[in-house]
Amino acid sequence: MSGLGESWIDGNVLAGGLREVFAVDLTVATARCAGCGRTGTMAEARVYPQAPGLVARCVGCDAVLLRMVRAPDRAYLDLHGLAYLEVPLPESAG
Amino acid sequence: MARAAVLGRLTWQVATVESARTETATARTLVLAVPGWPGHLAGQHVDVRLTAADGYSTQRSYSIANAPEPDRVELTVQRVAGGEVSPYLVELAEPGDRMEVRGPVGGYFTWSPDAPDPVLLVAGGSGIVPLMAMIRTRAAIGSRAPFRLVYSSRGPDDVVYQAELDRLAIGGSGVDCTYVYTRSTPPGWPRAPGRLSGAELAAAGWPAERRPQVFVCGPTGFVEAVANHLVDQGHLGHRVKTERFGPTGGGA
């Protein structure tokens, strides 16, 4: 049980870094892959933590969904692989 | 419900080591005092940041082991050979030491205590930690949701929380435990060491018709194999939640 095939972990690990930037937990959001159109929960994406930062890839086609790099005084977030996000929110009268 | 909550800005907080418990030869539980800790959902994790005297800092994500309580977080950490953070947490950290934590984070791999559905927990090695938080939360709130745990370890000495799980197994607690050993077994154990099979998983778990909520945590290869067995057995994808922590880290 070793090798690059198992070097990924679940999207759950994105939770802390994304919560530094966003007010909601994006790991429970439904995400659509801009590459193949597959939708799934962000927490189910395959995350490769070996890069400088975190790279999340689509379970269906392996395309990059999201890249996140944290520098001491800022975060870099590449979201071009996401066609949309559906985010659960509390019910609002508005 | 927390998964739909709009949250405040997530910031690092200082945590102080209150006490430490040795769990196995390579795993230790740190009890951290975190003033203002808001509590958490069973299965959530926390990011831990260590900063050296020269300013170098590094962070890791760890599952929370305890049931929610104010101002306190317990982490059970498995030492990863050659790791940067876990050797310090498992071997060196002492009461009074400080580190930074932020959390709780992650609303996906969480058990809702108000759900009455049967629950199947499948642990590979130190993947037991967030599942133990679910078992402890169930006990703390008096939930009657029937739980079954299937726990794969290298050998009997690698089982974390054995004494506590043994206490649970006595007296119809509603938590049934099945142990699988992959490399060495206790004396007289009826099963030869080996990986958890689909048939064993089916026998120790719930039939898919019961629509159990399933949580699987462990090394990536272990979780992949278990998730494939579960799908083959008819469990619905959205009822099976997984947390993979990479190629090693606890030994399934």
Q: Is the pTM of this model over 0.90?
A: yes
CB A65 within 8 A of CB A58: yes
User: Do B78 and B131 have their domain in common?
Assistant: no
pLDDT above 70: residue B2: no
Does B217 map to a domain? yes
Note whether B86 and B176 are same-domain residues. no
- The residues, ordered by sequence, that sit 6+ positions from B28 with a Cβ below 8 Å of its Cβ are B20, B21, B22, B76, B77, B89, B90, B91
Q: Could you give the CA distance from residue B218 to residue B196 in angstroms, rounded to a whole number?
A: 13
B195-206: pLDDT as tens digits: 999 999 999 999
Q: What is the pLDDT of residue A2?
A: 38
Q: Do both B210 and B236 map to the same domain? A: yes
Range of B66's domain?
A: 2-105
Residues B127, B227 share a domain: yes
Which runs of consecutive H residues, i.e. helices, occur in chain B?
86-87, 128-141, 162-169, 198-204, 220-232
User: Does any domain span residue B114?
Assistant: no
| Domain-ending residue, one of B105, B129, B162 | B105
Alpha carbons B115 and B65: distance in angstroms, whole number? 20
Task: Kindly report the CATH number assigned to the domain that includes residue B39.
Answer: 2.40.30.10
| Contact (CB<8Å) B6/A89 | yes
Do B52 and B79 sit in the same domain of this protein? yes
Q: In this structure, are B92 and B134 located in the same domain? A: no
Any domain includes B167: yes
Q: Read off the CATH number of the domain in which B188 is found.
A: 3.40.50.80
Total domains in chain B come to 2
Domain shared by B99 and B201, yes or no: no
Question: Out of B47, B243, B247, whose CB is closest to A2?
Answer: B247
Residues B97, B146, single domain; the answer is no
Residue B191 lies in a domain: yes
Asked if B126 and B211 sit in the same domain, the reply is yes
Q: Residue A11: list chain B partners with CB under 8 A.
A: 108
In a domain, B73, yes or no: yes
Whether residue B93 is found in the same domain as residue B126: no
Query: Chain A: residue nearest B220 by CA?
Result: A6
Same domain, residue pair B40 and B140: no
Mean pLDDT of all residues in chain B? 91
Q: Which of these three, B75, B105, B135, is where a domain ends?
A: B105
Q: Are residue B133 and residue B223 in the same domain, yes or no? A: yes
pLDDT (tens digit per residue) in A43-77: 999 999 877 889 999 999 999 999 999 888 999 99
Nearest CB neighbour to A16, from listed B8, B105, B224: B105
Q: Considering the domain boundaries, does residue B137 fall inside one?
A: yes
ipTM of model: 0.85
Residue B210 lies in a domain: yes
Q: What is the pLDDT of residues B44-69, one digit of tens each?
A: 999 999 998 898 888 889 999 999 99
